[in-house]
Amino acid sequence: MDRRPQRVHHGMAYALTGRGKRVRPVLTLAVAEMLGGRGDDATLDLACAVEMVHACSLVLDDLPAMDDARLRRGRPTLHVEAGEDVALLAAFALLNRAFELVAECGQRLPLGRYTPQDLAHHLATAIGTAGLIGGQALDLESRAAELDRSGGLDLERLEFIHSHKTGALFIAAAELGAMAADARRRDLELVTRYAKNLGLAFQITDDLLDVVGTPEETGKETGKDEANVTFVKLLGVDGARALAAELLDFAVASLDPLGARAAPLRALAAQVRDRRS
C-alpha cells in the first residue's frame, strides 16, 4: 500500500477496512460452501471482489452530492478523511480491482456450467442502471420530488428502489457463490430467491436502525433519513419489523429443498433480523 499512488491506495484500504459486517462476502462464501464449492482461494477472492464493490458504493453514497454522510463504520467517511478527489479515485479503483479479480477468478475456478464471462456479467448487471446505480438514481430523484412536495413515494416504489440499490448486490453475491461452486441451475435459482428477500429485509433493518439505533452501535449517524421516505415512515417501526420478518421467512422458505445444508444461510437470516449494527 506504500506503492504509488499512495493516497489512492490508502483510500482503498481505508474504505475496505474498519468495523464493517462483511455480510455480502460471507453470503458468497456460505452459498459456495453449501453447494459443494471447494472453499479455495479463488472463491475467497470472488467474495473479496463483492466486498470491494460494496465498499465503492459506500464511498460514493457518502459523498456530499449523495447522502453527505460524515461517519461510516465508526470513523470519518473517506471524503472527510482524505478529500473528495481521493474518495472518487479510490471508489473507482476499488470497482476496477473488483473486476480484475473476477476475471482472474474466472480462469482459476473449475467452472463447467458457467463461463468466466458469466461471473463478470452478473456482477456488472447488478451494479449498472438495472441495479445499484438505477436504484440510487431513483432514490435521489424521489428525494428531490419529496422536497418539492410534488410527488409521494409509495411502498411499491420504495421496494423497487431498495431491491435495486441494496438487493441487487446481495443477489450477485449469492449468485457468484453458486457459480463458484458450479451449482445446478435449480440451486442457483433457490439462492437467488433467498438473496432477493434477504437483501430487502436487510435494507428495512437499516431503516429501522436509523430510527432505533445509536451511532455507537451502527457506526454511522442516525436520524439521517428523517427527511426521506423509508419503510419505517410508511409502515411505522412495528410494521417495518413485521415486513422484514415476513421477507426473512420467505428467504428461509426458499432454502427448504436444500435441507440441512442450508443451516448457515438460515443463521444469516436470523442475524439480519436481530442485528443492532
Judged by the rule CB under 6 A, the positions of this chain that interact with ligand GRG are: 20-21, 23, 53, 56-58, 60-61, 66, 73, 95, 127, 132-133, 136, 165-166, 203, 206
Report, in Å, the least distance between residue 51 CB and ligand GRG.
8
Report, in Å, the least distance between residue 112 CB and ligand GRG.
30
Report, in Å, the least distance between residue 115 CB and ligand GRG.
23
C-alpha cell at 216: 455507537
Report, in Å, the least distance between residue 204 CB and ligand GRG.
10
CA distance 121 to 102: 10
C-alpha cell at 104: 482472474
Report, in Å, the least distance between residue 75 CB and ligand GRG.
11
Q: Which residue is nearest to ligand GRG (CB)?
A: 20
- Among 65, 146, 52, which Cα is nearest to 104's? 52
Cβ nearer to ligand GRG, comparing 57 with 187:
57
| Residue 156 burial (10 A CB sphere; 0-12, 13-18, 19+) | exposed
Whether the CB-CB separation of 175 and 204 falls below 8 Å is answered with no
Cβ nearer to ligand GRG, comparing 39 with 128:
128
Half-sphere exposure of 63 (CA within 13 A, CB side): 19
Residue with cell 449523495: 66
Cβ nearer to ligand GRG, comparing 5 with 128:
128
CA distance 243 to 133: 25
Report, in Å, the least distance between residue 11 CB and ligand GRG.
15
Cβ nearer to ligand GRG, comparing 18 with 36:
18
Cβ nearer to ligand GRG, comparing 27 with 109:
27
Give 71's DSSP letter.
E
CA distance 188 to 203: 22
Cβ nearer to ligand GRG, comparing 29 with 53:
53
Roughly what angle, to the nearest 10 degrees, separates helices 231-253 and 155-165?
A: 60
